[in-house]
């Protein structure tokens, strides 16, 4: 019969990599499929970002592996894209945060002011879209109110 210490070690080994909910979680570095699952993107997308030099994963025996820096890069990249920045603006944003990229860059590649200008332009575009949508909403509300009284 195994000792209590051996049983505890076996139990600890069996639960390693599980979160408090009991789900199995991988330790870093991650393979490409697990990375895609964690950040919610497709294999095609992550390969595209790598091809463009927005992501520079290490390779072990030819397989892509992603560490904490790569996950941080992907999270920022997805935030920048959600804000509507171009991929080149995303590259410049990653560089402003000190994250590795390759490929062409604009003159303000690591200039925080360049990133700030891009974000301000995007905010202005979003504000304009919201204003236009409010006009459409108000016109639709007025049309609905008019149809109820008729």
Q: What is the pTM of this model?
A: 0.66
Write down the pLDDT at residue 17.
37
Distance CA 31, CA 133 (A): 42
Write down the pLDDT at residue 76.
95
Write down the pLDDT at residue 58.
94
Q: What are phi and psi of 2, to 5 degrees?
A: -70, 150
DSSP states of 48-99 as a string? HHHHTTS---EEETTEEEE-HHHHHHHHHHHHHHHTT--HHHHHHHHHHTT-
Query: Residue-wise pLDDT tens for the chain (150 aa)?
Result: 444 444 433 433 333 333 333 334 458 899 999 999 999 999 999 999 999 999 999 999 999 999 999 999 999 999 999 988 989 889 989 998 889 998 766 555 567 888 888 889 999 999 999 999 999 999 999 999 988 876
Distance CA 26, CA 18 (A): 8
Write down the pLDDT at residue 14.
37
The second-level CATH assignment, the architecture, of 27-149 is Orthogonal Bundle (1.10)
User: CA separation (Å) from 35 to 23, 32, 51, 115, 117?
Assistant: 16, 5, 16, 27, 31
Distance CA 59, CA 47 (A): 13
Write down the pLDDT at residue 149.
72
């Amino acid at each position: 019969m195994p000792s209590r210490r051996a049983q505890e070690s076996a139990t600890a080994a069996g639960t390693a990599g599980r979160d408090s909910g009991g789900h199995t979680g991988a330790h870093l570095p991650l393979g490409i499929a697990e990375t895609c699952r964690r950040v919610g993107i497709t294999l095609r997308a992550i390969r595209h970002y790598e091809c463009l030099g927005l992501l520079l994963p290490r390779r072990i025996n030819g397989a892509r592996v992603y560490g904490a820096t790569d996950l941080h890069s992907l999270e920022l990249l997805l935030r920048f894209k959600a804000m509507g920045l171009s991929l080149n603006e995303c590259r410049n944003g990653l560089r402003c945060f000190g994250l590795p990229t390759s490929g062409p860059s604009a003159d303000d590649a690591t200039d925080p002011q360049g990133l700030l200008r891009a974000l301000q332009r995007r905010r202005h575009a979003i504000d304009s879209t919201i204003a236009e949508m409010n006009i459409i909403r108000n016109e639709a509300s007025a049309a609905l109110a008019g149809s109820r009284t008729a």
